[in-house]
Amino acid sequence: MEAEALLTGGTIRGSSFGINSRNKRALYCAMGNTVFRSLADGDSATWASVGTPIPSCSKVNAFIVSPKDTNVMLAAVVRHHSAAHSSSPTTTARPG
């Protein structure tokens, strides 16, 4: 089910894929307010959400996995507020 969500949901702008520098088979994708991970070179059956949803996020503009600490991820997002959208500098997520 997670792979289906990755393939069908979420708004993306820019680069929303990241690679784990310590495990090249581990790929990450940030879509909407969720970060997904595959530990098998991106095989469609292996994607699963990690961490907690990015608060108030409607779009991901950019996403990276820290090369020094691969448990730290950085996303530049568009946050949704009641009536208008505004850019947020960054949001970090740590997988659980």
Report the alpha-carbon distance of residue 86 to residue 52 in Å, rounded: 21
Show pLDDT as tens, one digit a residue, over the chain (96 residues): 454 555 555 556 678 889 999 999 999 998 888 899 999 988 878 899 998 888 888 788 899 999 999 889 988 888 765 544 444 444 455 565
Average predicted confidence (pLDDT) for the chain:
77
pLDDT of residue 39: 93
Three-class DSSP category at 6: helix
Prediction pTM value = 0.70
Q: How far apart are the first and last CA of the chain?
A: 19
Contacts with 4 (C-beta within 8 Å, 6 or more apart), sequence order? none
| Three-state secondary structure call for residue 46 | helix
Hey, which residues does 12 pair with through a beta bridge? 60
Alpha-helical segments (H) within 1-96: 2-8
Backbone angles phi, psi at 14, to 5 degrees: 80, -150
Report helix, strand or coil for 8: helix
69-89: per-residue pLDDT in tens?
A: 988 998 888 876 554 444 444
